[in-house]
Structures are given as C-alpha cells and as structure tokens.
Amino acid sequence: MAKRKMITIDGNEAAASIAHRASEVIAIYPITPSSGMGELSDEWSAKGKKNIWGTVPLVAELQSEGGAAGSVHGALQTGALTTTFTASQGLLLMIPNMYKIAGELTSTVFHIAARAIAAQSLSIFGDHQDVMACRQTGWAMLSSGSVQEAHDIALIAHATTLRTRIPFLHFFDGFRTSHEVAKIEYLEDDDLRAMIDDDLVREHRARALTPDKPVLRGTAMNPDVYFQGRESVNQYYEAVPGAVQAEMDKFAKLTGRQYKLFDYVGHPAAERVIVLMGSGGETVEATVKHLVEQGEKVGAIRIRLYRPFSIEYFIKALPASVKTLAVLDRTKEPGSAGEPLYLDIVNAVSESEMAIKVFGGRYGLSSKEFTPAMVKTIFDEAAKPQPKKHFTIGIKDDVSNTSLEYDPTFSVEYPETVRCLFFGLGADGTVGANKNSIKIIGEETENNAQGYFVYDSKKSGSLTISHLRFGPKPLQAPYLISPNTANFVACHQFSFLERFDVLKYAQNGATFLINSTFGPDQVWDELPVEVQQVIIEKKLKFYNINAYEVAEKTGMGTRINTIMQTCFFAISGVLPREQAIAEIKHAIEKTYGKRGEAVVRKNFEAVDQTLAHLSEVKVPASASSTVKMRSAVPDAAPDFVKSVLGPMIVFEGDNIPVSAMPIDGTFPTGTTQWEKRNISLEIPVWDPNLCIQCGKCVFVCPHAVIRHKVYDKAALAEAPETFKSMESKFKEFPGMAYSIQVAPEDCTGCTLCVEACPAKDKTQVGRKAINMAAQPPLRETEAANWDFFLNLPEVDRTAINPNTIKNSQLLQPLFEFSGACTGCGETPYVKLVSQLFGDRAVIANATGCSSIYGGNLPTTPWAKNKEGRGPAWSNSLFEDNAEFGLGMRLTIDKQTEYARELLPHFTPELGQELIDGLLNADQSNELGIKQQRERVAAVKEKLSGLKNDSKAKDLISLADMLVKKSVWIMGGDGWAYDIGYGGLDHVMASGRNVNILVLDTEVYSNTGGQASKSTPRGAVAKFAMAGKGIAKKDLGLIAMSYGYVYVARVAMGASDQQTLKAILEAEAFNGPSIVIAYSHCIAHGIDMAKGLDQQKLAVQSGHWPLFRYNPEMALNGQNPLQIDSKEPSIPLEQYIYNETRYRMLTQSDEERAEMLLKSAQADVKNRWQYYQQMAAMNFAKVSDKPES
C-alpha cells in the first residue's frame, strides 16, 4: 500500500473534513465543543472548496440546533446529502427531528463532539450524556475514540447511511478527541469516492419530494395503523450491523485499518474484559496490551456500533474464556437500574444465556481524567468474587461510597515517549505555538505526536496548560500528563510559580524552562523556596530566558510564543537546532505569511534573537529563597471557599470529594473577592487634586475594581498612611470625606476608567484625575487601602436619588471581579443593574458570555451586601432564558398575591395599620422599600409565636415577597435575536413585569464570534466570512410594535446618562421592558481601551441611534418614542473601519466591502428617517389610547 499523506489536525477537523466532502447541504449552529466543525465547513465553502462531486457544499447557519435539525430534515426530504454538527443541549434540541428523520428512513450523518448535559450545572466538557439521550431515536450510533478514528469512522458512517437508509450519529469525545491535535493518515477524495456509492446517492435523491413525482410523507396516523407502521422498518435495522461491518471491511482494504463493530483487543483467553466506547477505549487498549505483556488474561471490547446493538456480533467478539465483564459508561442516568451500556451488555449476556458475570460503573463525566491506573483498578476489581456494582472511578465518592481507589502512579506509557508541559498565559500565544510545534514534530519527523490543551475558565488573564507527547511508538494516551512524568516543563509566566505547583509534573532529571524578567544569575533567588527545593530534589536542568525582553526588542509585544517555542526546540533536541529553526520559520510563514511580510519578519527576528538570551542556570545545592508560594485564597476566606473553591483555583479540584459538593448546584455568591489574580501590570491611580467626583470612572469599570464612597471624616483617623481622600462635592453630603479607591489585585488594567475620566490637568492635559501606574510597587499599600475602603460604611440608599451618574455609583456593586475580558463592554451594564436593584433582584441569565463570567466556577462575581442581600442568579439554558425569567416573575406575582391574601387573617396580631401599610406601600423608591422591609420584619416578629398556625407559617415564609422584587432577564444577542427570540417575543407579549437586558455584541461572543441576526451588514464573522450581506435585525423596532413594552436602546460610551435613565425607567415600568445595550467586544477586533469611543462613533454615525420608548407617555397623549441621539453626523465608515470585523473585508474583498458599506449607509439613513417619522406622530390625536 502506497505511503499515505500524514496530517496533523484535531478531531473536529478530522470529522468535518469527511462531512464537508460528502455533503451538498450543511446546516449549522455553534455550540462548544462542536463549533469547530461548522466553522471549518463554512470557511471551506467560503473559499470554494468542493465536495467529491465537484461542487461547493452550501452551508447555512440557523437560529438554533432545533432550527438546524429542521433544515436538515427539509434538505433531506428534498434529496440533498445533508449533515450537521452539534453537541450537548444542541443535540437534545435535535431529538424531535431525529425521530422524524429516522422514521422516514432517511440517510444522513450528524457528527457529534459528545458533551455533558447541563444538570446541576452546565459543563462544556466531554462525556456521553448527550448521545446516550438519543439512543432511542432510531438512529444508528457509531463511536470514534481518537482523531484518526474520527476521520475514518466519519467516512464509514457516510457510506453506510446511504446503503442502509438509517441515519447515523457519529460521535467522539468532546474536547478529548474534538480538540486533541494528532498526526493522522489523511483520507483522499478518491478514498471517499471508493467508499460512497454514487448509485446510492442517486437513490437517495430519487426518494426526494418533488412536484414532478408528487408523494405525501408525514401523515397523521390513527390507532389502527400507527403501530404497524412503526414495525415496518425492522428489517432495515436488522441489516445495519452487517452493512456497517461490510463498509468497515471495504475501508480496511483501502487503508489497511480494520475496524469491527466490537473490536476486541487483549489476551485470546482473557477472563476479565472491559467494555466501553469512545476515547477511553484507547486508554483501556494501551493498558490491556501492557497487562497482557505482564501475563494477565485481560481484554477489552471497544464498541464502534452502539445502535443498532448487535448481540450476535458482540458475543462473537468475546473470547469464550471470559468470566467477568466490566462495563464502563461515560454517562449518568440517575434512578436507573444501571447505565445504558451496562444494561445493554447485561441483556446481551442474558439473551445469549452465557455464564458471565457483568458489573458496571461510571467514569469520565465532563472530561474527568480516565487513566491506565484506573483501568488497572477496574481489572483488579473484576478479579474479585463480588466486584462492586455501579462503581465510579476517577473521583472520591465518600457519600455513596461508589468509587474505586486507584494507584495514580501506575503508567503504561512507553519509555521512548517524550512528555512536555507548558504553562502559559492565554494572551502570550503559548497554545498556538504548541499547536505549531506538534505539527512540526508530526510532519517533519517520524515521530507520532499529540497535543492537548487545558484552559482555565477566565476570559482575561487566563492560564493555559499544553500537554504535548511525541515519540516513535503509538500514542494511545488520551489523558493528561501525570505528575512526576514530564520530561520537559516550561513556565511562560513567572508569577505562576507563586500560585501553582508547576513542577509536580516534572520527572527526575527533567528539564525546566522559565520565562522571567531576571538574568541567569538572579533568577534563582527570585524563585519561591518550594520551587527551589523541587529543582534540587528532582535534579532538574534549569533554563532561563527573558522572553519579554526579546519580544519587546523584536516588536512582538506580549506574544512570547515564537520565542518560547524556539527555546523548547533548542533545549529538547527533538530536531537538530538548525533544522528546528528552519521548520519554525517555515511554520511562521505558513501561519502568518498571508497577514503580511512585516508580521513574518518580526517573528523571524524573535526566533533569531532567542538563543542569545537563553541560558542554563547553575542550581545551588540548597534552597535559600525567602519567597514562598501563596495559598490559593486568603486566610480570611470562608471555609467553603478555602476547602472547595481554593483547590479548584489551583487546579486541584479533582481531589475534591463528593461530600464537599453542593447536592443541587447551589453555591454561595460573592466568591470572586477571594481569588486575587493580580493579572495587570498597571493599575489606575487616583489624583484627588484633579477629581471632580463625577463617578464616570466607577460607572464604566467592567470589573467593579474602582469605586467611590462618601463617608464621615472621622473614619480617616484609622486610615492607612497612603489612603487618599478629599472633601465631598456631593450636595447631599456636605462636609463629608470622599475617596476613589482601586482594588489593585483585581484590576485587569483595561484603562477604560482613564479613557472615561473627563478631568484633565490644566497645566498638562495628558494627565487626568485617574492615571495608570505600575502595579507591583503599589500592590501591598493599595491592597491595604482597598481593605480599609471596603470597611467604610456604604451609602444610605435612601439618602440619594440614583438618577445621576455620580449618585448611582455610590451604590455598592453586587457584581464584581468577574472573569470577563479585559475592557469588556457588557459587564458595566450588568454591574449597573446590580447597583441599582441588586438587593432585590432575581436574575435569569441566558447561556453565553454573561453566564460564563457570571457563573463559571471556581469563583463567581454576583455578590451580596452587608445585610446579606444581593442578586439571586440562575442560568437555565440558552434557548429558554426569557421563559425562565418569566417563570420567576410568575412565582413572585403568585406568592405576593398569596401573601397579600394571608395578611387580613392576622388583623388581631398585626393590627390594621401595619396591614394597610403593607398592602398600600409605595415602593417606587429606596425609602419605600426600606419601610416595607421594616414592615415585613414586623410581620415575622409578630407572627413568630404562632407556631401551630400553618397560615402564619405560610405568611412568614412568603412575607419577603411583599417587598418589591426586580426580575432581570439577561443575555447576549445570540440568545435574544436568534435561539431565544421566540420565547423573548412571547415574554414581551405577556405583559408581565420583567426587565430584559440584551447585551448586544452583534455576534456570538462566547463561542468565538459566529454571526447572529444582530450582526450588522458588512461585518465579517464566522459563518459570515464574506461579510454579512443583509441588514441587522431591528429588535427594538419589533419590541416597540407591541405598544405596551418599554423599549430602550443604549450605549453608555455615547451617553451614560441616557443609559442610566433607560435602566431606571425600564425597571420602574410596570410591565415588560427591554433594554438593548451596545456592548463593544473583543470579537469586534478593536482596541478595547477605545471601546467607549467606538460606542460614541456608533451613535454618531447613526448605526446605533439611542432611544427610549415608554408606553406610559402614550397614556398622557405624548409620543412614546423619544430619540435620544442626534441626527447622524459622521459617515458610517468613520465608525466601522476602526474595527477589524469590518476592515478585514476591505482587505479580503474590497469591492464587496464597498458595496456593503453603501448599503449599510443607506440602512442608517432609512432607519433614521423611519424613527423620525415614528417620533413625530401626534399621539394627542389618537382617539383610542392604549390602556395601561
């Protein structure tokens, strides 16, 4: 067999490569971790890449996975070869159509990057919960366990679906396989042509709906025939196993890679056999080989075809010697007699009347590690007379005691395999460089190569860990590099050494490379003593480079990727130095060449200058440093934070036992305050001499790290020496002291506060009342100042009217220190809501950026005040958030009503005056709310003695409902304009008092910048590579059409006052309200420090006209629409061409960019005119005024 082309790609690309070439229509919707398949398909089609029949597949983005499945169904019914990609909740949304597609015997393949299901919490990581929820739909299910298999089995699926007419679900493990980069053998177009029978394609087409041969499909059947109809397809399912095996055999002849429905590996006379599917099969296979070599009679069945489940083939695959089967399910089915694969195997053994003991367990949920050590333990368990049934492996279950103990040091890796770990900052490009390194090693050497990447959950200052393996032997190791096994450890950020146990991964004699700002003679003394000790004990070879210096000199900024990559090759000796450098440069040209010569040149310079700065550090005989590693959280943190969240912060969460976990996904709020990340090298510093106390810096801060307070001057007696203050300029607080304070360890250094500050030094206008300064020298003193500041009393909420920026910013933010991007454009709005209404708010948050920075562990930003009140927050799903929030409102409305109904029952105990006060309270301001809370407290107090009165107990439990609650429904444009729009529309139409905040970034930000219906004309986004050709949906206009919905469009960078006014009005409006907030975003390709300026330009250009539509105005005979921005005063291009999302189209297709700009400019003009006409309508003359 001729040598085949080898490529180094990830699992998503491996599957998509087949799907794209074997399809005519592809309907897509983004969801992690499958988005890559849709993105690649869209990119390939946009670039004109053809399928095997010589035509470019048509790729269409839908509004949801449900929509994608519907379109797939339609395309299939009309005869196109159609596919899609999804995962998790997305797959669940496809289930209704999957039944239809299977019921109609329709050939298709869905490729699934299998992922956990949101239950007690969401998880983006891999397991089989989603695909297992589809096993009853009538689809065939084929499983891949590696990147190569994702490529191969994708093709087998496409070939077999046409032969059998049964739709196929091809799945592989999310992240572990979808995101693993590996060297694989590429399947050429001719391989696809050899596997896919064109006659079957034409038969598929011949079954299509066409008016030229009309038929009717999709009837409604009655009890007389439905059952028979359902049974009519049995023979097709019976034929599937044979057909799949036939295609696998055909594939083997083509490629030499033989798959079986149930692949057995192991001892021919094995007595103990593990049964499983997915990437864990690779681990089990490698372990089995190792154990067999040790003389153990063990084996494994790796299931490829899970549905239809062929008992016949399964039994045939089993050695006759088997005594015990251990069945591993990567899923959880609470309450069942056992997990699904286990039950299938029990049934298979039972039906075949074999005397085999079967036991099963769960492993690997949400990408939990699954290692040879665990496999060994399961085999040991299988050898016991009574193996533990329904066990778990990989966790410590100290509640139900399901877990098996294992020895983590057990390893089956070949001694020739080289293992390398790289700790990087997200922003420094470490992962990208390592992906390139894997390609270089994979493609330029005979080595096998594998790369897998771990990210923390923050969007700013994030940490990445790259796990690279390479070596001459096969790499069946879909698990992370274990402690004490790495040959090479690189730490690209010196400060990580203080926070994480980086060197626990190094094996004795390994190489350790650090990037530091210190010279080779100085770096040793700067290391924490614990690190010094490990270097000495493990006899590590220690190298140092000041990569930042090289990067600075060569124009690389903070991107040290190329420099560290060069060091890696230079030290590791994977390739001869000269060749390695040549290959790095080749990779640079390949990666960056199209972006311009200057980019290539600066990278080349970085490579060339690296080696001169790299040096080996002489390791002393003893540790002497005075620097010590920091604990994960401060001592003052609550116990739960210390014992549960702390380990998560330092990547030790795997060790947390089941007993420590909340049982229902409930977590305390306000925990980000304990995670001092110190990610910014610069922080803002306040100059009281210039400050005008406007509060704008506080208003715009995305992370709530800059705050101001007015307080009694007497408090200053206890102030730290460097704490700054000035005389209050607030008319409400004469004679008091005033301070602005920054949280130095939480600031991300975005500089939005400096940009927003209007106070300039009259003698030096470049200097403002807020200026950036280096953080390290200020860290300690400012941290003390911050603690003092926090302990100053918060403002009395009843003492101010929050309708000015400065007053509103005296209110304590109850959303702080989130993991959002540096300079995030969404979080200032979120924070504002938390300040104004947080102590009585319930929040429904759609999945997306805001649910991730708002609710991703380890620590979360929603906080509470000193009275213990604060926003109660929850995320249901992506698609149902408006309805979820409405449900909250319904509860509040009902329970408030019930509480009000109960009050009169207790007139003797409460007194009429208190009851009247409670029932007629004016809660339109903070004073009214405070007084109502006092009344509620009185109720509880007065009724507390009625311990046997169930009505009294009910009223006590519901009395808090008598205090006005504020329901906020938040999410991004992907939710509001697309997947959740149906629900959003219904909730707006409901008339209920909910407040909807749309954080409009005009793109799916969280999943990496896919186009939504909010994406403007002319902007480039994923799924709109050629620039979006149609205009942005006008959600505000649609909302206004109801006439009884409060609608506002805001952009705080253009008008902070209008933003504040709109949010206050929206909340005060006793009905549905929606505020659509312009949120600049990293996906716009802008300098985030200029985000507020961009907002201003968006408004000035007319792209984002500001308005408020208040139905109450109409009741008074006034036009409800008030346009708050001026007529467009600058051309659209002055705004849009500051942003890469628009500008890149001028660089890739100038003509189209011009055409779209012209149309978009016309959109601006037309919309402005339309709004003007709406705002000019005379409502005084409307005879039928809407009722409240």
Partner 1 sequence: MTDLTTTYLGLNLKNPIVASASPLSKKLDSAQKLDEAGVGAIVMYSLFEEQIIHESLELDHFLTRGTDSFAEAMSYLPESSSYATGPGKYLDHITAIKKTVSVPVIGSLNGVSKGGWTSYARHIQDAGADALELNLYYVASDPNLTSNELENAYVELVADVKSNISIPLAVKLSPFFSSIPNVCQKLVEAGADGLVLFNRFYQPDFDLDDLDVIHTLHLSTSAELNLPLRWISILYGKIKADLALTSGVHTAQDVIKSMMAGAQVTMLASELLTNGPRRIPDILSVVESWMQERDYASIKQMQGSMSQNAVREPAAFERANYMKVLSSWKEQL
Q: Interface with partner 1 includes 1020 (CB under 8 A)?
A: yes
If you count DSSP H runs as helices and E runs as strands, how many of each does the chain have, helices first?
A: 44, 38
- 1144 counts as binding partner 1 under rule CB under 8 A: yes
- Cβ atoms within 10 Å, residue 1076: 26
Only segment of 61-69, 368-376, 422-430, 921-929 that touches partner 1 (CB under 8 A): 422-430
Q: Which residues pair with 141 in a beta bridge?
A: 169, 307
Round to whole Å and give the CA distance between 283 and 816.
Answer: 42
User: With binding defined as CB under 8 A, does residue 1148 bind partner 1?
Assistant: yes
Q: Is residue 1131 close enough to count as binding partner 1 by CB under 8 A? A: no
Q: Which residues contact 633 (CB under 8 A, 6 or more apart)?
A: 641, 642, 645, 646, 649, 674, 675
The three state secondary structure string of 958-982 is HHHHHCCCEEEEEEEHHHHHHHCHH
Q: Which of 821, 914, 929, 997 binds partner 1 (CB under 8 A)?
A: 821
- List the one residue from 115, 330, 1141, 1167 that touches partner 1 (CB under 8 A): 1141
Catalytic residues: 32, 65, 115, 1006
Residues binding partner 1: what is the number (CB under 8 A)? 61
Q: Does 362 contact partner 1 by CB under 8 A?
A: no
Q: Which of 317, 514, 701, 1025 binds partner 1 (CB under 8 A)?
A: 1025
Q: Is 971 in the site for partner 1 (CB under 8 A)?
A: no
**Closer to partner 1 at the Cβ: 733 or 1078?**
1078
Residue 1022 binds partner 1, judged by CB under 8 A: yes
Given the complex with partner 1, which of 378 and 821 has the nearer CB atom? 821
Cis ω on the peptide bond leading into residue 858 (within 30° of 0)? yes
Q: Are 741 and 789 in contact (CB under 8 A)?
A: yes
Shortest spacing between CB 1087 and partner 1, in angstroms: 9
- If one asks whether residue 1082 binds partner 1 (CB under 8 A), the answer comes out as yes
CB of 155 to partner 1, least distance (A): 25
Range list of H helices, 903-949: 907-910, 912-919, 926-943
1005 touching partner 1, by CB under 8 A: yes
Residue range at the interface with partner 1 (CB under 8 A); choices 236-244, 254-262, 424-432, 990-998: 424-432
Q: Is the dihedral of CA 748, 751, 754, 757 positive or negative?
A: negative
- Note whether 653 binds partner 1 by CB under 8 A: no
| C-alpha to C-alpha distance for 226 and 360, rounded to whole angstroms | 37
Q: Which is nearer to partner 1, 87 or 1045 (CB)?
A: 87
Binding residue (CB under 8 A) for partner 1 from 435, 469, 499, 806: 435
CA distance 421 to 1056: 46
Long-range CB pairs of 893-900 (<8 Å, 24+ gap) are 893/992, 893/993, 895/958, 895/961, 896/958, 896/961, 896/962, 896/965, 898/954, 898/958, 898/961, 899/955, 899/958, 899/959, 899/961, 899/962, 900/962
**CA 732/CA 251 separation, integer angstroms:** 80
Residues 562-601 as x/- pattern, contact with partner 1 by CB under 8 A:
------------------------------x-xxxxxx-x
Measured between alpha carbons, how far is 34 from 956 in angstroms, rounded to an integer? 49
DSSP 447-491: -EEEEEEEE-S-SSS-EEEEEEEEESS-----SPPPTT-EEEEEE
Residue with tokens 């009741």: 1115
Nearest residue (CB) to partner 1, 704 versus 1025: 1025
Choose which of 186, 410, 414, 455 interacts with partner 1 (CB under 8 A): 455
Figure out which of the listed residues 2, 220, 320, 765 binds partner 1, where binding follows CB under 8 A. Answer: 765
Dump the DSSP string for 634-686: -TTS-HHIIIIIHHHHTT-GGG--GGGS-TTS---S--GGG------SEEEEE
Instruction: Name the one range near partner 1 by CB under 8 A: 271-279, 428-436, 859-867, 881-889.
Output: 428-436
Shortest CB 23 distance to partner 1, Å? 20
| Closer by beta carbon to partner 1, 161 or else 847 | 847
**432: contact with partner 1 by CB under 8 A:** yes
Q: Which of 1086, 1097, 1123, 1157 binds partner 1 (CB under 8 A)?
A: 1086
Nearest CA to 302 out of 145, 474, 173, 156 is that of 145
CA distance 192 to 159: 8
DSSP 8-state secondary structure symbol assigned to residue 119: S
User: 995 vs 893, 970, 992, CA distance in Å?
Assistant: 14, 8, 9
Q: Report the residue number, 605 or 1034, with the smaller CB distance to partner 1.
A: 605
Part in contact with partner 1 (CB under 8 A); list of ranges 163-171, 454-462, 857-865, 955-963: 454-462
**464 binds partner 1, rule: CB under 8 A:** yes
CA-nearest of 817, 1099, 1106, 989 to 830 is 817
The only residue of 1008, 1057, 1118, 1155 in contact with partner 1, by rule CB under 8 A: 1008
Range 838-857, binding partner 1 (CB under 8 A): 852
Measured on CA atoms in the order 432, 433, 436, 442, is the torsion positive or negative?
negative
Least gap, CB of 479 to partner 1 (angstroms): 17
Contact 325, 273 (CB under 8 A): yes
Q: Distance (Å, rounded) from C-alpha 672 to C-alpha 746? A: 9
Asked if residue 689 binds partner 1 (CB under 8 A), the reply is no
DSSP codes joined into one string, 1016-1032:
PTT--BBTBTT---SPP
d(CA 1048, CA 700): 19
Which of 25, 124, 939, 996 is the binder for partner 1 (CB under 8 A)? 124
Q: Tell me how far, at minimum, the Cβ of 595 lies from partner 1, in Å.
A: 5
> Which residues ranging from 770 to 789 are in contact with partner 1 (CB under 8 A)?
none
Residue 329 or 428 with smaller CB distance to partner 1 = 428
Of 37-45, 695-703, 888-896, 1120-1128, which segment contacts partner 1 by CB under 8 A?
37-45
Distance, CA of 39 to CA of 151 (rounded, Å): 17
Cβ distance to partner 1 smaller for residue 121 or 533? 121
Binding site for partner 1 (CB under 8 A): 32-33, 35-36, 39, 42-43, 46-47, 124, 175, 426-427, 429-432, 435, 453, 455, 457-459, 462, 464, 555, 557, 559, 592, 594-599, 601-602, 760, 765, 821, 852, 1005-1009, 1020-1022, 1025, 1082-1083, 1085-1086, 1140-1141, 1143-1144, 1147-1148, 1150
